[in-house]
Structure 1
Amino acid sequence: MKFILNVTLVITLMIVKVASAQNQSIEITVVNATSDKGTVNFALYDKASYMKQPIQGKTAGITKGKSTVVFENIPSGEYAVICYHDKNSNEKMDFEANGMPMEDYGATNNVMNFGPPRYDDAKFVVADKNVSLEIRF
């Protein structure tokens, strides 16, 4: 009886360890906000959801030009994060009449092109470790 209990306990611990190892966290830090006014809004996407409906969205304040969020319980896979500095706290990215953004924005891997960030430029992989990345506006 004691042997069966020990085997059951070991199997349970192994299952818990494997289950917890499958989900990681992603820490994203904007390192160069031009002011501490407003917030930075972050969105985590996979390829299928990119620029549609984020998997997770987070908002963070800014201190000394830096803003950090952590996306938790992320399964292994390929992802991209985009963010923008909501200077006026109206919870949307503001644009000029000609379509140019009025607020700073960025994406993982810091590839800056004209137009919105592209998934293939911003993608990164989450595997068996937590991920920590910086974004520059």
Structure 2
Amino acid sequence: MKKLLFAGFFLLTFLGQAQETSGTQITVTIPNVPGNEGKVIISLYDEETFMKALPLQNGTSEIKDGKATFTFKEVPAGEYGIISIHDENNNDRIDMEPTGMPTEAYGVSNNPMSFGPPQWSEARFEVSDEPISLEIRF
């Protein structure tokens, strides 16, 4: 009988944990993709990984009528930045000129208008337990 009660308790505990989700959603919309060729890659970073390492989460979106949308799920509370690129030729990276300037459109969270590479201080935003919707412009 003890084994049956223990197994039942364990099962209920496990099922309760399996149904919990941690974090919230961030929905990103890019309304001004220049053309419908290729795809849009949308990447979520924290301060440690921004412009230095692989993203925490990565997603792609098809382009429909110059618009792309992607939702990051189960994002824990904290500070994040997003970089998105229009991968026109589907090679899964941003193409660059020999001078280092991008040849494909890109955008960053908070839509900073600056010269040079994106800066964490301009791109960062706060995530709590509420869903967020962001618009990033190319």
Report the TM-score, using the length of structure 1 for normalisation. Answer: 0.83
Task: Give the distance between the partners of 2:122 and 2:79, measured in 1 at CA.
Answer: 12
Task: Give the distance between the partners of 1:111 and 1:117, measured in 2 at CA.
Answer: 8
What residue in structure 1 maps to residue 109 of structure 2? 108
Gaps of 5+ in 1: 1-7
CA contact (8 A) 1:39 1:60 kept: yes
Task: Give the distance between the partners of 1:86 and 1:53, measured in 2 at CA.
Answer: 17
What residue in structure 2 maps to residue 74 of structure 1? 75
* Shift of residue 53, structure 1, vs aligned partner: 1.6
What residue in structure 2 maps to residue 30 of structure 1? 30
How is 1:7-46 mapped onto 2 (pairs within 5 angstroms)? 20=21, 22-46=22-46
Q: CA RMSD in A?
A: 1.6
Task: Give the distance between the partners of 1:103 and 1:77, measured in 2 at CA.
Answer: 30
* Shift of residue 128, structure 1, vs aligned partner: 2.1
Structure 1 runs of 4+ off > 3 angstroms? none
Percent identity over the alignment? 43
How is 1:45-84 mapped onto 2 (pairs within 5 angstroms)? 45-51=45-51, 52-84=53-85
Secondary structure of the corresponding residue to residue 110 of structure 1: coil
What residue in structure 1 maps to residue 94 of structure 2? 93
Aligned residues: 122
